Structure 1
Amino acid sequence: MTTERRGVRILIVEDEPKLAAVMADYLHIEGFETTSISDGAEVIPFIRTTPPSLMLLDLMLPGRNGMDICREVRQFSTLPVIILTARVDEADRLRGLEIGADDYVCKPFSPREVVARVKAILRRSAPPAATAAPVATGLEVDQQFHRARLDGEELKLTPVELRMLALLMKSPGRIFPRDYLLNQLYDDHRVVTDRTIDSHIKNLRRKLQVVRPDSEPIVSVYGVGYRLEL
């Protein structure tokens, strides 16, 4: 096991034993530790008592479906979540992102691709440099420890949402084109649409408005992109 990944545990939530075993084997080769769960009803209790570093989550599960699991996880944790499912419709993918998933991979998939996405998300979730100084009024972001606060209140952001907020905070008031955000957030050359960015922005805006309900913290500029106004 590589030293830098010792203790990095991936939770595999999958009711197909062979597929779960294949994913575990590929992750072990890369130095990750794994735990596999096949019953959806067991996932939340496990996460609360033994938080993993990232979760690979199937949607069609006995006991409880993956969408409900992801939705509940987002009520108390910023755990990175990659959904693995046979549902290929764009509406299903967008729904998964809207409830807080960081990525969405359709079956059948290459285990190597999934491992690459796991590594990319974990790498972006724990950047080497910390920046805790406020760069917009009332807003603080610490990327190293994955923390964000607005007016002193902690924001429960996913890793993708935190990275997006950090990007927008570089120049409050500047318009960031969708293409720029896509390239900065997803550097592994996957096919990602503008609607993916829109879904993450929608979630981020909603969480900021919990603290400032009468504000429009992220403004949409039609046909161009987004700007932060705090």
Structure 2
Amino acid sequence: MDNNEKKIKILMVDDDEHICQLLALYLERDGFDAEFCHNGESALAKLGTTAYDAVLLDVMMPVMDGFEVLTALRKFSNVPVIMLSARGEPTDKITGLDRGADDYITKPFEPQEITARIRAVLRRSKPLKGKERVDLFNLSVNLSDFTVTLNGAKLDMPPKEIELLYMLAKTPMHVFTREDLLNEIWGEGYSGDPRTVDVHIKRVREKLGDNPHWRLTTVWGVGYKIEVF
């Protein structure tokens, strides 16, 4: 890394001090600037005052668990979040993704995997090339400032949901497969759960509600499209 290049700043949130110290050694060796704290309240305080490039967030913590921290965080920040957990049940992963996590890693893990996942999440968090705006009846999706308005009111959506909606709204009636959406928005070679598309679609659909001129439709066995009436 060039000495003049700004280091990627990572916040680790885990009540296991040993894990934090071990990961900090690996992250700093790979050129990251690593900080850590051991409970959710401290994490939210740090995240409210300091800009981080990504967060490693443990699920099992006292007082506030990782899911509660993530829910609170998403009210004011879209920083990429990778959740860490000893629980690998599909329902836990879906809960994390549904609340806005960008990735989910099950313990035990290799520190090298963590650094690779961080770099992958940071690559995927970059906005789509060619910042544009699309208008579809009462819906406006603007990638220039990452805003979505419906009937003149701004909707609260994180970047990945906005990029997903933009891609669908830009070409109404075109059916996109899950693989199309993963490759374009999450990047080719995405190693996470492919169901993240389904989770994001569900959240977008809930925020859009019912519309008289168009709707976000599931084409069973194929993918998704914006259907215009």
2-structure distance, mates of 1:215, 1:35: 49
Whether contact under 8 Å (2:97, 2:196) holds in the other structure is yes
Are residue 192 (structure 1) and residue 190 (structure 2) matched?
no
| Off by >3 Å, runs of 4+ in structure 1 | 1-5, 127-130, 135-138, 151-156, 212-217
What's 1:23 paired with? 23
SS in 2 for 1:227: strand
Give the length in aligned residue pairs: 225
- Ranges in structure 1 where 5+ consecutive residues have no aligned partner: none
Q: 1:191 to 1:77 in 2, by over 3 A?
A: closer
Instruction: Please give the residue correspondences for 1:132-171 in structure 2 after superposition, counting only pairs within 5 Å.
Output: 132-134=132-134, 136-137=136-137, 138-142=139-143, 147-151=146-150, 152-171=152-171
Matched-pair contact (CA < 8 Å) for 1:10–1:34: yes
Aligned-pair CA distance for 1:72: 1.2
TM-superposed deviation, 1:159: 3.8
* Other-structure match for 1:92: 92
Distance 1:116 1:156, change over 3 A: farther
Task: Tell me which structure has the larger Cα radius of gyration.
Answer: 2
For normalisation by structure 1, the TM-score amounts to 0.84
- TM-score, structure 2 normalization: 0.84
Determine the structure 2 residue equivalent to 1:221: 219
| Larger relative strand fraction | 2
Question: Which deviates more, 121-130 or 61-70?
Answer: 121-130
Which consecutive residues of structure 2, in runs of 5 or more, have no partner in the other structure?
Answer: none
The CA deviation at 1:201 is 0.8
User: What is residue 70 of structure 1 aligned with on the other side?
Assistant: 70
Identity of matched residues, %: 34
| Residues 42-95 of structure 1: CA deviation (Å, up to 9, x unaligned) | 122221122322111001113311111111112222221111111110111111
* Structure-2 separation of matches of 1:170 and 1:160: 15
The two structures, once aligned, show a CA RMSD in angstroms of: 2.7
